[in-house]
């Protein structure tokens, strides 16, 4: 079977961090995963030199025809949100879109997709500093400034810098399932999935002792998902009032404590469905849903599929 080819675009004044995240995730061989990992290549879309931030020079072949074979194209941060990309680059993007290639942007890379016209009528995100500029310049795009990433199916856009890792890990989960995504995140020493939006990263005062208590509570809840948890019991364990707990969860994750816990339980269900043929009633019990009906309801709501369909797609991969 032909391997999935991921191609990262390179151009002068390349954003080093976003480009490095893409290389780290897709270029390294990962035999420990036991799956056919991606093929990876870098394609310069304009003649060199390709200078990157920090005085780095990237040597990449100027081979636009490579994009014709790409299954996924990743566009790191574009060099200047106010500079319209060269017409040849935009034509490459439009042609790839028409071929059905998956297109992904990180941070200001969304301006390349926007200028190519492939985002018209779709939802998209970018770094919060650029969100207003994107919305004003391209009014046909439905900008979601608070999201870490937005998945439209064929086109996925990520917010600034580290949110690119969130999006790239999301691609791995889409392609290989939650278990493989979690293993890759573990190797990268990052969270497999961050809830909430980029608004949580704007400067705001927060008491360090309360943040520490919240973090410890989250760790304990992840380790004990099958127990019965209420806002009152969670607040008591964290030594907070229920109102303070609600506020702290909302600020830290973008969701209240109950919704956050449900999302964690759905993540556990995904892993159990992938690695073992466990009856759904036992899966529900281990994840803390209590009943198959509750599991099915929340799984469909958050995963946009049924447990059975998810198991058939990802079990034993």
The domain of 78 spans: 5-188
160 and 15, same structural domain? yes
161 and 44, same structural domain? yes
Predicted pLDDT at 207: 40
pTM: 0.72
Residue 250 has pLDDT above 90, yes or no: no
Q: Over 242-304, what HEC string results?
A: HHHHHHHHHHHHCCCHHHHHHHHHHHHHHHHHHHCCCCHHHHHHHHCCCCHHHHHHHHHHHHC
Beta bridge partners of 69: none
CA dihedral 213, 269, 192, 71 (to 10 degrees): -160
Residue 193 has pLDDT above 70, yes or no: no
How far is the first Cα of the chain from the last one, in angstroms, to the nearest whole number?
A: 15
5-10 sheet: strands from edge to edge:
39-44, 5-10, 72-75, 102-106, 155-158, 149-151
Question: In the structure, what pLDDT confidence band is assigned to residue 208 with cuts at 50, 70 and 90?
Answer: very low
Residue 191 has pLDDT above 70, yes or no: no
Residue 38 has pLDDT above 90, yes or no: yes
Give the chain's mean pLDDT.
87
Q: CB of 143 within 8 A of CB of 197?
A: no
pLDDT in tens, 89-137: 999 999 999 999 999 999 999 999 999 999 999 999 999 899 999 999 9
156 and 300, same structural domain? no
Which CATH number does the domain housing residue 79 bear? 3.40.50.880
282 and 160, same structural domain? no
Q: CB of 149 within 8 A of CB of 167?
A: yes
């Amino acid at each position: 079977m032909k391997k999935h080819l991921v191609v990262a675009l390179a151009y002068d004044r390349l954003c080093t961090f976003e480009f490095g995240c893409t290389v780290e995730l897709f270029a390294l061989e990962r035999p420990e995963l036991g799956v056919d990992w991606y093929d990876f290549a870098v394609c310069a879309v304009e003649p060199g030199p390709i200078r990157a931030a920090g005085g780095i020079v990237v040597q990449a072949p100027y081979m636009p025809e490579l994009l014709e074979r790409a299954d996924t194209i990743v566009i790191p941060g574009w060099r200047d949100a106010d500079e319209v990309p060269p017409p040849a680059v935009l034509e490459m993007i439009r042609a790839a879109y028409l071929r059905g290639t998956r297109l992904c942007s990180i941070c200001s890379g969304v301006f390349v997709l926007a200028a190519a016209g492939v985002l018209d009528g779709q939802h998209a995100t970018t770094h919060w500093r650029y969100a207003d500029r994107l919305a004003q310049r391209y009014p046909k795009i439905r900008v979601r400034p608070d999201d870490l990433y937005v998945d439209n199916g064929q086109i996925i856009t990520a917010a600034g810098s580290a949110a690119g890792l969130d999006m790239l890990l999301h691609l791995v989960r889409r392609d290989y399932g939650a278990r493989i995504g979690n293993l890759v995140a573990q190797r990268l020493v990052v969270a497999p999935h961050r809830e909430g939006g980029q608004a949580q990263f704007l400067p705001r005062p927060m008491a360090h002792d309360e943040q520490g208590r919240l973090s410890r509570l989250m760790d304990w809840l992840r380790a004990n998902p099958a127990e019965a948890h209420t806002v009152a019991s969670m607040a008591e364990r964290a030594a907070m009032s229920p109102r303070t707990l609600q506020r702290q969860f909302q600020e830290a994750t973008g969701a209240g404590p109950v919704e956050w816990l449900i999302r964690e339980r759905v993540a556990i269900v995904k892993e159990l469905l992938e690695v073992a043929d466990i009856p759904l009633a036992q899966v529900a019990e281990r994840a803390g849903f209590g009943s198959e009906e509750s599991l099915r309801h929340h799984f469909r709501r958050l995963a946009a599929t049924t447990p059975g369909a998810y198991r058939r797609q990802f079990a034993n991969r």
